[in-house]
């Protein structure tokens, strides 16, 4: 797994985080035949509307912002790790993100950090002493929702009605953008102490 933009772990008390998928949440996914794909280069990468505003609001509310993304095209040989890293460096420079955790493997590699497995979220939680029950996962695909659900965070689906399987577990909230997700995360009712 590749990690860019690491920060030092918090000492105490436990912090909370918003875990974010990349394509379709922060930047526009490339849609082909009803399915989302990542931009191939930095020049193809376009931020979605109001992403910067949403991330600054979450940061101001005390959340760590950790991108958790699958980029299997590296393992498949259809893109280079350098191209993916260049996109991540641009995102880290432009947005108030704490870190980007990227899995470069494909399903056949059985990697624990490749969503829908929760490894990337659990590793970040251990590293930064995060309270998972007070944290969130925002994604646009079933893999994101299942990873978040398994990790024990509340999940938010940005629903583009892709032509792919649905998540086997229900998300806690469904909306149309990261800005909408942020409004829900920061609402007083959502911020009440969460109990399983």
Whole-angstrom distance, CA of residue 194 vs CA of residue 196:
7
85 in catalytic set: no
Q: What tokens were used for 157?
A: 């689906």
Residue 62 domain-assigned? yes
23 in catalytic set: yes
Residue 194 domain-assigned? no
Residue 34 domain-assigned? yes
Range of the domain at 6: 2-185
Nearest to 104 by CA among 92, 120, 90, 123: 120
Residue 192 domain-assigned? no
More confident residue, 33 or 96: 96
Instruction: Read off the CATH number of the domain in which 179 is found.
Output: 3.40.50.1000
Q: What is the pLDDT of residues 60-103, one digit of tens each?
A: 999 999 999 999 888 887 889 999 999 999 999 999 999 999 99
Q: What is the pLDDT of residues 141-174, one digit of tens each?
A: 999 999 999 999 999 999 998 988 777 678 999 9
pTM of the prediction? 0.90
Q: How far is CA 91 from CA 26, 52, 84, 103, in A?
A: 9, 10, 11, 17
Residue 134 domain-assigned? yes
- Domains identified in the chain, total number: 1
């Amino acid at each position: 797994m590749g990690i860019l933009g690491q920060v030092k772990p918090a000492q105490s008390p436990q912090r909370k985080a918003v875990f974010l998928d990349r394509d379709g949440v922060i930047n526009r996914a490339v849609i082909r035949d009803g399915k989302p794909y990542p931009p191939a280069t930095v020049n193809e990468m376009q931020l979605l509307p109001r992403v910067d505003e949403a991330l600054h609001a979450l940061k101001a509310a005390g959340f760590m912002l950790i991108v958790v993304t699958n980029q299997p095209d590296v393992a498949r040989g259809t893109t280079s790790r350098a191209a993916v890293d260049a996109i991540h460096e641009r995102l880290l420079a432009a947005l108030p993100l704490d870190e980007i955790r990227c899995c470069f493997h494909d399903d056949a590699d059985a990697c624990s950090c490749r969503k829908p497995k929760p490894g990337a979220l659990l590793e970040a939680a251990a590293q930064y002493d995060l309270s998972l029950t007070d944290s969130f996962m925002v994604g646009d695909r079933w893999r994101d929702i299942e990873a978040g659900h398994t990790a024990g965070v509340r999940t938010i689906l940005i629903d583009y009605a892709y032509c792919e399987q649905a998540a086997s577990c229900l998300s806690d909230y469904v909306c149309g953008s990261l800005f909408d997700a942020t409004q829900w995360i920061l609402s007083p009712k959502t911020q009440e102490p969460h109990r399983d």
